[in-house]
């Protein structure tokens, strides 16, 4: 279990992707939570895209965001300077072995891009946490859809706007 801190810090937008087409975990305001598993690892679920509709999974999504908020502060990701943000989720980079992370709070958004071999340990720890959470989502009665169906149900990959 993640220990909470007294400091207020709330992630509102979270996207993590391991490319090419290995894993995607996204919680974007106003959209269903998304878990995309693109490859089958030993003992893992088959490739799938799972949506967590807000009307059914709102509490679970809020808990995930709360846990992620605490975790990224505890392991120092939020304090880590952005790394190549212009490459994060860049369309022309979808076939490169890379880790992409985009997060936003009420006042700030940040992005990190790493090749898989260069991803720092805290980012790999976050990936492992999200993978574990995704496996539990894959075992719930969420909505499993095709990639094309998921794209049609979700809005575009726009970057969240910072608020002052």
CATH label of the domain that carries residue 115: 3.30.1560
Global pTM reads 0.80
Domain assignment of residue 144, yes or no: yes
* Percent with pLDDT over 70 in the chain: 74
Task: Identify the residue with better confidence: 49 or 146.
Answer: 49
Count of domains observed in the chain: 1
Range with the lowest mean pLDDT among 25-29, 61-65, 79-83, 139-143? 139-143
> What is the dihedral sign for C-alpha 127, 131, 132, 136?
positive
Measured CA angle at 59 (ends 21, 40), to 5 deg:
25
Domain assignment of residue 52, yes or no: yes
Q: Cα(4)–Cα(42) distance, rounded to whole angstroms? A: 33
In which domain, by residue range, is 107 found? Answer: 13-153
Domain assignment of residue 161, yes or no: no
Q: What pLDDT digit, counting tens, does each position of 99-125 carry?
A: 999 999 999 999 999 999 999 999 999
Q: What pLDDT digit, counting tens, does each position of 48-105 carry?
A: 788 888 778 888 888 889 999 999 999 999 999 999 999 999 987 778 899 999 999 9
């Amino acid at each position: 279990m993640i220990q909470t801190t007294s400091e207020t810090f709330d992630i509102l937008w979270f996207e993590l992707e391991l490319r090419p087409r290995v894993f995607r975990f996204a919680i974007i305001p106003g959209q269903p939570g998304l878990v995309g598993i693109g490859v089958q690892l030993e003992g893992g679920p088959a490739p799938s895209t799972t949506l967590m509709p807000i009307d059914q999974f709102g509490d679970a999504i809020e808990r995930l965001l709360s846990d992620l908020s605490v975790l990224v502060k505890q392991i120092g990701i939020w304090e880590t300077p952005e790394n190549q943000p212009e490459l994060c989720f860049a369309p022309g980079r979808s076939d490169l072995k890379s880790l992409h992370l985009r997060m936003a709070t009420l006042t700030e958004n940040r992005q990190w891009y790493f090749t898989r071999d260069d991803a720092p340990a805290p980012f790999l720890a976050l990936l492992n946490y999200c993978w574990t959470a995704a496996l539990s989502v894959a075992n719930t009665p969420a909505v499993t859809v095709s990639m094309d169906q998921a794209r049609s149900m979700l809005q575009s990959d726009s970057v969240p706007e910072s608020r002052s």
